[in-house]
């Protein structure tokens, strides 16, 4: 069974709202629109210190009751963090007592990635290990290997987002999604893959990511539109 706090993801896929500014107000809006989880993009939110971060997360939970995933995206995976890699990792381990999930990239240096995974496991925080390819959809074998490696390295959920340049790219990703036996989240980015954010959960993706107004990643769909579609399918 895979859970993020009290959400049973084996029973029903969850909509993750990506929060990149004005965290409390946007979390309230995401909750109203139908999100199940809040993702806090630390590389975009620019919290000044841990105490401020704690207060903001508490305010989010007081207003929404939604679990939070902390993400501080690696530059190679589309992140905007301007500090050192050591400080990026510290920001994630420091925030673990206040969140229910953490997303760390597969491409993170192994010792630093392990530090986040081990600290999250010790804190009872769900671990997402993610990979992103903003240019293409890798081969089926390569995609399977990335997901398998993420699980080997401690992922509770292995996440893979790739750029779809054709219908076949989307079909390849959906095939991988259907074939994987361990918990995963898969996304085909771009216009060609836009529908995967609705369809992939039908094939086994446990999470889909939506936005309140403006897209943060190519092909993202608004939260209320995802909610309407998933209510029909699930």
Q: What is the pLDDT of residues 84-93, one digit of tens each?
A: 999 999 999 9
DSSP, res 125: P
Q: Record the pTM.
A: 0.95
Q: CA nearest 35: which of 18, 10, 56, 59?
A: 18
Q: What percent of the chain has pLDDT over 70?
A: 98
Residue 159 annotated among the catalytic residues of the structure: yes
- Provide the pLDDT confidence category of residue 202 given band limits of 50, 70 and 90: very high
Asked if residues 153 and 162 have their Cβ atoms less than 8 Å apart, the reply is: no
What DSSP string runs through 96-107?
A: GGG-SEEEEETT
Q: Report the pLDDT value the prediction gives residue 82, as an integer from 0 to 100.
A: 85
Average pLDDT over residues 144-149: 98
pLDDT band, very low/low/confident/very high, at 225 (cuts 50, 70, 90): very high
Mean pLDDT of 121-130: 97
C-alpha–C-alpha distance, residues 65 and 169, integer Å: 37
Residue 217 pLDDT exceeds 90: no
Instruction: Provide the pLDDT for residue 97.
Output: 96
**How do the domains of the chain map onto residue ranges?**
8-228
pLDDT at 78 (0 to 100):
84
Q: What is the pLDDT of residue 219?
A: 77
Q: What is the pLDDT of residue 46?
A: 76
- Among 54, 80, 132, 214, the active-site one is 132
For residue 132, indicate whether it is catalytic. yes
- Per the model's pLDDT, the better-predicted residue between 76 and 91 turns out to be 91
Residue 65: what pLDDT?
93
Residue 214 has pLDDT above 90, yes or no: no
CB 123 within 8 A of CB 117: no
Homologous superfamily of domain range 8-228: Aldolase class I (3.20.20.70)
Selecting among 75, 136, 151, 159, the annotated active-site residue is 159
How many angstroms from the chain centroid is the CA of residue 6?
Answer: 17
């Amino acid at each position: 069974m895979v859970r993020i706090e009290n959400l049973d993801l084996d029973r029903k896929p969850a909509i993750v709202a990506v929060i990149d500014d004005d965290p409390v107000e946007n979390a309230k809006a995401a909750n109203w629109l139908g999100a199940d989880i809040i993702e806090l993009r630390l590389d975009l939110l620019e919290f000044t210190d841990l105490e401020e971060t704690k207060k903001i997360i508490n305010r989010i939970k007081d207003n929404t009751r939604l679990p939070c995933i902390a993400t501080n995206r690696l530059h190679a995976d589309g992140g905007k963090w301007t500090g050192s890699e050591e400080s990026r990792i510290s920001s994630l381990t420091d925030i673990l007592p206040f969140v229910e999930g953490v997303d760390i990239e597969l491409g993170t240096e192994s010792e630093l990635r392990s530090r986040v995974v081990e600290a999250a496991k010790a804190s009872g925080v769900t671990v997402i290990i993610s990979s992103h390819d903003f240019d293409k959809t890798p081969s089926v074998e390569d995609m399977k290997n990335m997901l398998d490696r993420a699980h080997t390295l401690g992922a509770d959920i292995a996440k893979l987002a790739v750029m779809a340049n054709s219908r076949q790219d989307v079909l390849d990703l959906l095939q991988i999604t259907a074939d994987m036996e361990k918990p995963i989240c898969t996304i085909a980015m771009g216009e060609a893959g836009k529908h995967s954010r609705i369809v992939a959960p039908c094939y086994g993706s446990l999470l889909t990511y939506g936005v309140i107004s403006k897209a943060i990643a190519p092909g993202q769909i608004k939260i209320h539109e995802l909610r309407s579609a998933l209510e029909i399918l699930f």
